[in-house]
Amino acid sequence: MKALITGASSGIGKSMCYYLASKNIDLILVARSKDELEKIKSEVSVNTEIINMDLQVQDNLFKLYDLCKDKDIDILINNAGFGLFGLFQETDLFRELEMIDLNIKAYHILTKLFLRDFIKKDSGYILNVASSAGFMAGPRLSTYYATKNYVLKLTMAINEELKKEHSNVVVSALCPGPVNTNFNKVAHGEFSIKEASPDYVAKYGIDKLFKKKMLIIPTLRIKLGIFLLRITPYRLQLHFSYYIQGKKLGIKHE
């Protein structure tokens, strides 16, 4: 088997590289950090190709597909993305547009292009790394939450379409809570609750993908939190989220 992983140079994506390699799955790694990709390549024993590419650039998404469409890929993992903390009126507009390009456009385009190929051969796996943020709105992290809502709902809809067509192609969404990665550094905030390890989330996500699970939610705490959302009024959800994001930014509430 062969897997294509975006955002492969750090965090969950990097951990997925090592876990897939431990299962003797060949790798195509995509990220902007060539040095980190080279390091991963040197440390795994499977056939590994690296592609140094910025997926915020739309044309690069089609270039990536053209580079990989004949490489007999079995697994696509859309993992590249970032967040940005702050009040909506204060966060940088152009940085947010870059986030939308990476968190939404890249997922949408790559999922559609590779899904068409997988459907033709009636096999293949697509794992879209969403977030528990995809189940609610996120004041002070509003655009990021909105992008993850898009990814989650799109993935669920595609999964149902494939099910109705009796397809053997699997499309799943990985929805972790806080994970110990460099997300905080990029987003300029700090998580206020305990973080899961990227190694745990990567292993859990891939194992559940192979078991054809549509929604993959690591850790009991996050599963419980998502369940409670279903019975919590929206206004209370928003108040709670506003408070939690404020703690990440070091804001004290009276």
Partners of 171 in the β-ladder = 126
Q: Measured between alpha carbons, how far is 196 from 198 in angstroms, rounded to an integer?
A: 6
CA quadruple 85, 86, 89, 95: dihedral sign: negative
- The CA dihedral of 187, 190, 192, 197, to the nearest 10 degrees, is 80
Helical H segments across the chain, by residue range:
11-22, 34-43, 58-68, 93-100, 106-121, 142-164, 183-187, 198-210, 220-229, 234-248
154-159: long-range contacts (C-beta < 8 A, 24 or more apart)? 154/107, 154/108, 154/111, 154/128, 155/111, 155/128, 155/130, 155/214, 156/214, 156/215, 158/111, 158/115, 159/214
Residues with active-site annotation: 144, 148
Could you tell me if 28 and 3 are in contact, meaning their C-beta atoms sit under 8 angstroms apart?
yes
